[in-house]
């Protein structure tokens, strides 16, 4: 495919040129491009699924895990969902040109702070071909050109999907360079991460190995989609039935994602009434439980042989599996201290009926998303009404939490006068 045969520098320069066109296009044109992509995904379904089937077969032969094969695989329903997601992004308000704030200065100058595209956004991701379309759609909606670098395990899928997207946007008058694709090798990653003055921002979506590889070489600004060592804290006054539902959802609904809970903390005053039942329910759901001594003492006798003692390392681990660390604390302050010491700053939850405890947790926990009486599993651009997301950031930059179309914009000050001089 022509895009993949270009050098990384060529792809990035074409994206820069296209970004200058995109910045001035009306909302209607960018939305039309997204609808064209959504339509093309379904009209070219056979072509896409054939390429994806080849990737899945190659992945199975090379020993990819069942979890990675599931992320890699596409089918009719998943393509429909991707197309629906693209249309949902098109339906979002246009962030470009949105006035963040504005005022008239005493000297009569009008000052407005408005959202503008970054320009060229690179997205580096692993074996999730749906990201090819999600990332392209989010970037187009926010007026950015995008350079995509997927994993080698999805080479065929990403090539076809990017080709489908490019053909669709060209049909409505957007330059082909607005969506670029580079190969998934380490050399290409280094070349992409050092495109100073051409690529404005990189978002990596993947594991710690990908992040470490980028940190070694990147000279372009990077916003890292974070790991998630997330906690649910059950306070002394919690509704225990609601707490059990929240804990089970946060841990078991989809354990291999960054917003799944990895640690359960329970106030000592609620532990005797809460832990026996929730530990049994978690065990029956297939969860491996790593518990502190006080939690073990409250477990049913029939469960004792299935429990493991929690190690110091377990409190810091993002398991991404049906594994949960469980501990008892003596106060909300102790819970907050534990979360801030061991958490990754992603998503943290308190279950309580005490307003003071809830407010203290909200104000004191250092995380991108803090929940009161709700599961951590809601940290997601789609769930937050953002259409989709590039990823979730725990960095304390302009974007923290789900990164959607607004977070894919920076700002500029627009100043209007009437012959003013200083």
Cβ-based neighbours of 370, under 8 Å, separated by 6 or more: 347, 348, 349, 350, 361, 362
Q: Using CA atoms, how far apart are residues 322 and 182, in angstroms rounded to an integer? A: 35
Cβ-based neighbours of 376, under 8 Å, separated by 6 or more: 228, 230, 231, 232, 250, 259, 260, 261, 346, 347, 348, 349, 369
- DSSP assignment of 376-417: GGG-STTTTTSS--S-EE-SSSS--EE--TTTTEEEEEEEE-
- Per-chain mean pLDDT for the chain: 94
| 199 contacts 190 by C-beta, under 8 angstroms | no
Task: Encode burial over 340-354: b for 16+ CB neighbours within 10 A, e otherwise.
Answer: eebbbbbbbbbbbee
Q: Using CA atoms, how far apart are residues 139 and 133, in angstroms rounded to an integer? A: 10
pLDDT at 388: 76
> What is the reported pTM?
0.86
Q: Using CA atoms, how far apart are residues 92 and 264, in angstroms rounded to an integer? A: 36
Cβ-based neighbours of 40, under 8 Å, separated by 6 or more: 164, 165, 167, 168
Structure tokens at 372: 């009161």
pLDDT tens by residue, 292-321: 999 999 999 999 999 999 999 999 999 989
At residue 90's C-alpha, the angle toward residues 88 and 91, to 5°, is 65
Map out the domains of the chain with their CATH numbers.
2-225+397-416 (3.40.605.10), 230-378 (3.40.309.10)
pLDDT tens by residue, 6-51: 899 999 999 999 999 999 999 999 999 999 999 999 999 999 999 9
Q: In 3D, which of 387, 388, 361, 134 has the Cα closest to residue 232?
A: 361
Report how far apart, in Å, the C-alpha atoms of 280 and of each of 87, 259, 352, 373 are: 43, 23, 22, 21
Q: Using CA atoms, how far apart are residues 274 and 264, in angstroms rounded to an integer? A: 12
pLDDT at 358: 98
Low-confidence ranges of the chain (pLDDT < 50): 1-4
The dihedral formed by the CA atoms of 40, 59, 250 and 308, expressed in degrees to the nearest 10: 180
Burial of 413 (0-12, 13-18, 19+ CB in 10 A): exposed
Q: Using CA atoms, how far apart are residues 316 and 332, in angstroms rounded to an integer? A: 19
Q: In 3D, which of 71, 107, 366, 394 has the Cα closest to residue 224?
A: 394
């Amino acid at each position: 495919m022509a895009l993949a045969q270009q050098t990384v520098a060529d792809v990035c320069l074409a994206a820069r040129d296209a970004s200058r066109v995109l910045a001035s296009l009306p909302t209607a044109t960018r939305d039309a491009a997204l609808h064209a992509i959504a339509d093309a995904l379904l009209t070219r379904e056979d072509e896409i699924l054939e390429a994806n089937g080849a990737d899945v077969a190659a992945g199975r032969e090379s020993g990819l895990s069942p979890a990675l094969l599931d992320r890699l695989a596409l089918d009719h329903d998943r393509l429909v969902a991707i197309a629906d997601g693209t249309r949902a992004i098109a339906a979002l308000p246009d962030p470009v040109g949105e006035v963040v704030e504005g005022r008239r200065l005493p000297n009569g100058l009008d000052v407005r702070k408005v959202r503008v595209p970054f320009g060229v956004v690179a997205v580096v991701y692993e074996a999730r071909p749906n990201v090819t379309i999600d990332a392209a759609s989010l970037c187009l909606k926010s007026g950015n050109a995008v350079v995509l670098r997927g994993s080698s395990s999805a080479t065929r899928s990403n090539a076809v999907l990017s080709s489908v997207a490019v053909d669709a946007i060209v049909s409505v008058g957007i330059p082909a360079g607005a969506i670029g694709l580079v190969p998934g090798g380490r050399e290409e990653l280094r070349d992409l991460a050092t495109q100073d003055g051409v690529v404005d921002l990189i978002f990596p979506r993947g594991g710690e190995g990908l992040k470490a590889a980028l940190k070694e070489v990147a000279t372009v600004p990077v916003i890292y989609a974070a790991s998630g060592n997330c906690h649910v804290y059950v306070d002394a006054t919690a509704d225990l039935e609601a707490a059990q539902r929240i804990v089970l959802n946060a841990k078991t609904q989809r354990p291999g994602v960054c917003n799944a809970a990895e640690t359960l903390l329970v106030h000592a005053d609620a532990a005797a009434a809460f832990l026996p039942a929730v530990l049994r329910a978690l065990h029956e759901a297939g969860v491996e439980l790593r518990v502190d001594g006080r939690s073990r003492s409250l477990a049913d006798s029939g469960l004792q042989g299935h429990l493991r003692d929690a190690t110091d390392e377990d409190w810091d681990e993002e398991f991404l599996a049906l594994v949960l660390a469980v501990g008892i604390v003596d106060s909300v302050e102790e819970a907050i201290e534990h979360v801030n010491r061991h958490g990754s700053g992603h998503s943290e939850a308190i279950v309580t009926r005490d307003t003071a405890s809830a407010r203290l947790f909200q104000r004191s926990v250092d995380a991108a998303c803090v929940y009161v009486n709700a599961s951590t599993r809601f940290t997601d651009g789609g769930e937050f009404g953002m259409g989709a997301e590039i990823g979730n950031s725990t960095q304390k930059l302009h974007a923290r939490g789900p990164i959607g179309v607004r977070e894919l914009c920076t700002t500029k000050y627009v100043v209007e006068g009437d012959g003013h001089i200083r």
